[in-house]
Amino acid sequence: MNHRAFAIQPVAVEPCELPVVHERGQREVFCGLTGIVWLHRKIQDAFFLVVGSRTCAHLLQSAAGVMIFAEPRFATAIIDDRDLAGLADANDELDRVVAQLLARRPDIKLLFLVGSCPSEVIKLDLQRAAERLSRTYLPQVRVLNYSGSGIETTFTQGEDACLAALVPELPVTSGRQLLVVGALADIVEDQFARLFEELGVGPVRFLPARRAGQLPPVGAETRVLLAQPFLADTMKALAARGARHLPAPFPLGAEGTTEWLRAAAAEWGVPATRFANAVGPRRERAARSLAGARQRLAGRRVFFFPDSQLEIPLARFLHRELGMKLAEVGTPYLHRAHLAPDLAMLPPGTTLVEGQDVERQLDRCRAAAPDLVVCGLGLANPLEAEGLATKWSIELVFTPIHGFEQAADLAALFTRPLHRRALLSRGAAAPEAIA
């Protein structure tokens, strides 16, 4: 195959004509506190102090594990029942906890006070608390706040809220630059940085940065590529600072990554041959790495419950690059502007559902009898017990899946549950087969 000719053909993108069913019923999702699990690994000198209940502390400990040997970079300040008169004490307690923490941990440069949904916490004004504490601890420590509350859309909204809280802190620049927004594994970030350098696109900065002191600047000449589809508030805040979003499919799979890079290349006026030389061989390698998964998944039917907000780009990848059929694509929130290029690449007739009414969706899922269900942890076990193969959508946020080099790993996340179920079925017929 001639990779040059292959790589320079852009995908035709039409406005989305697919109808969307809106559901507003009971939801089965994790709350935004979950984002701390990957954000604390990304921003290496940040600390996340959840102001919440024992439930919040349990969630964090079970999602992130308890670190026994390492110094943890998240914790929960537990606020018990108190009336409005007790709020002054709560603020004093918060100040005391923060003072203790920062005295013991001089490595912390950025402290997030993370709000939660218990009513006692909602009564507390964490923004004022963060401002008050920042006045005390700057320039050594910056204190910011955001909400990880379960009252919001779903668990990935925690990252959006966290990054949106960082935007007012970004320094100003008038220089032309590309800003890649969304927490990526360091290895993926490095791969993208090398690719942009080969393309001659730059300077390139990343939000969030790995360290609090490396916050990228922003200004009217900043162009933004979103790495994650759930960053609506962050993008809104960046646009208010003058930055402009470059519409593109999300960089999942060989095709998605090519088109994502192409959006930046087009903005920077990169010649077609240079683009083909840098991107073509990588794209070909990525496409080849998907061949085995395509053999296993082509023609199989996948059903998405709304959970990670990654559902639309994943559905596009599974359908176009692995040949899967889309039984239903549910997403907690559909940001049409950011998802337009991905939506335009879905096949006609795709059932799109925004929001959730979990009982009705479970009925539709059972009736559809898909080969694979992508859903939250709470639904996975019951559906497995009913004989359906499931993939936990939260794994898609914890695992490096972006870019060419990760395309095969992304595909493997979907082949593995089917393989496992096949082994289990064989084992049911002949138990020694999986012994």
Q: Which residue's CB is nearer to ligand SF4, number 155 or number 196?
A: 155
Q: How far is the CB of 79 from ligand SF4 (least distance, A)?
A: 11
Q: Which of residues 335-374 bind ligand SF4 (CB under 6 A)?
A: none
Q: How far is the CB of 35 from ligand SF4 (least distance, A)?
A: 11
- Residue 224 pairs with which residues in a beta bridge? 179, 245
Six-digit token string for 320: 């176009």
SS3 83: coil
Q: Which of residues 104-123 bind ligand SF4 (CB under 6 A)?
A: 116-118
- Residue 218 pairs with which residues in a beta bridge? 172
Please say whether the beta carbons of 403 and 251 come within 8 A.
Answer: yes
**What is the chain's Cα-based Rg?**
23
**Measured between alpha carbons, how far is residue 351 from residues 19, 329, 366, 411 in Å?**
8, 6, 15, 22
Q: How far is the CB of 181 from ligand SF4 (least distance, A)?
A: 24
Interface residue with ligand SF4 among 53, 145, 154, 390 (CB under 6 A) is: 53
With left for phi above 0 and alpha for psi between -120 and 50, is residue 248 left, alpha or beta? beta
With left for phi above 0 and alpha for psi between -120 and 50, is residue 242 left, alpha or beta? left
CA–centroid distance for 159 within its chain: 7
56 is a contact residue toward ligand SF4 (CB under 6 A)? yes
52 is a contact residue toward ligand SF4 (CB under 6 A)? yes
Q: Which residue's CB is nearer to ligand SF4, number 151 or number 433?
A: 151
Q: How far is the CB of 118 from ligand SF4 (least distance, A)?
A: 5
Interface residue with ligand SF4 among 59, 204, 225, 375 (CB under 6 A) is: 59
**Measured between alpha carbons, how far is residue 201 from residues 164, 262, 278 in Å?**
25, 11, 12
- Contacts with 47 (C-beta within 8 Å, 6 or more apart), sequence order: 40, 73, 74, 75, 101, 105, 108, 110, 111, 112
CA–CA dist 49, 33 (Å, integer):
10
Q: How far is the CB of 213 from ligand SF4 (least distance, A)?
A: 29
Q: How far is the CB of 182 from ligand SF4 (least distance, A)?
A: 22
Q: Which residue's CB is nearer to ligand SF4, number 117 or number 226?
A: 117
150 is a contact residue toward ligand SF4 (CB under 6 A)? yes
- Concatenate the DSSP letters of all residues of 221-247 into one string: TEEEEESSTT-HHHHHHHHHTT-EE--
Fill in the per-residue mask, 32 to 51: x = in contact with ligand SF4 (CB under 6 A), - = not in contact. -x------------------
Site stretch for ligand SF4 (CB under 6 A), options 15-23, 99-107, 144-152, 259-267: 144-152
* Number of residues lying near ligand SF4 (CB under 6 A): 13
Q: How far is the CB of 148 from ligand SF4 (least distance, A)?
A: 6
- In the complex, residue closest to ligand SF4 by CB: 150
326 is a contact residue toward ligand SF4 (CB under 6 A)? no
CA–CA dist 349, 326 (Å, integer):
9
Q: How far is the CB of 382 from ligand SF4 (least distance, A)?
A: 20
Site stretch for ligand SF4 (CB under 6 A), options 14-22, 80-88, 142-150, 354-362: 142-150
Q: Which residue ranges make up the site for ligand SF4 (CB under 6 A)? A: 31, 33, 52-53, 55-56, 59, 116-118, 148-150
